[in-house]
Structure 1
Amino acid sequence: MTAYLIADVDVTDPTAFEEYKREVPATEAPYGGKYLGRGGLTKVLEGDWQPHRLVIVEFPDMDSLMAWYDSPEYARLKAIRQRCATTRIVALEGLQP
């Protein structure tokens, strides 16, 4: 069942974040990760949520998503992101066929 990583990223060090942005797609691809949205324009339709940089990544399933998130390939980049941004991340399981 498809799974989605949804992140709201508040970048605090844009220079350092550039390395993360540039290198992270190569770590996701082996796990089947595919961007559906990455930092585009957002419009709040209801509520008081003020998103920053929204990212949605589709994975084949939750196991693949978690394998990527916990992978040694991503660990170095995760540490960079955690230093240069405040991030809220959720993993969402998609609909059953």
Structure 2
Amino acid sequence: MPALVLVEVTIHNPEMYEEYKKLSLPAVEAFDGKFIVRGAQTESLEGEWNPQRLVILEFPSVERAKEWYNSEQYNTAKKIRFQASKGKMLVVESI
């Protein structure tokens, strides 16, 4: 069953974050993932939720998403993301 990874990001070092973006795409693709949303404009319809940046990825399964997140390939990009931004990330089984 497909899985979605939802990421809410607040960027405090845009130049460094650009480097992260370059490294993250090949890592996502290596684990059969794809970007569904990557930083597009958001508009809150309910509540007080206004993320600076929202990213949604799709993987073939929750297991494959976890493999990507824990991979050595993504680990390099992840270290840069941790330095350049603050975020929240979760994985959810899709339908």
Shared fold, TM over 0.5: yes
Query: Aligned-pair RMSD on alpha carbons?
Result: 0.7
- Looking at structure 1, the residues matched to 49 and 35 of structure 2 have their Cα atoms a distance apart, in angstroms, of 22
Amino acid at match of 2:37: G
How many residue pairs get aligned? The number is 95
Amino acid at match of 1:8: E
Q: Which runs of structure 1 show a deviation greater than 4 angstroms over 4 or more consecutive aligned residues?
A: none
Match of 1:89 in 2: 89
Shift in Å at residue 46 of structure 1?
0.4
Task: Confirm whether residue 51 of structure 1 aligns to residue 37 of structure 2.
Answer: no
- Looking at structure 1, the residues matched to 29 and 22 of structure 2 have their Cα atoms a distance apart, in angstroms, of 13
Q: Which segments of 5 or more consecutive residues in structure 2 lack a partner in the other structure? A: none
Secondary structure of 1:43's counterpart equals coil
Amino acid at match of 1:65: A
Mapped contact 2:27–2:68 kept (Cα < 8 A): yes
The normalised TM-score by structure 1 is 0.95
- The 5 A counterparts of 1:12-91 are 12-91=12-91
Q: Which segments of 5 or more consecutive residues in structure 1 lack a partner in the other structure? A: none
The normalised TM-score by structure 2 is 0.97
Identity fraction in percent? 35
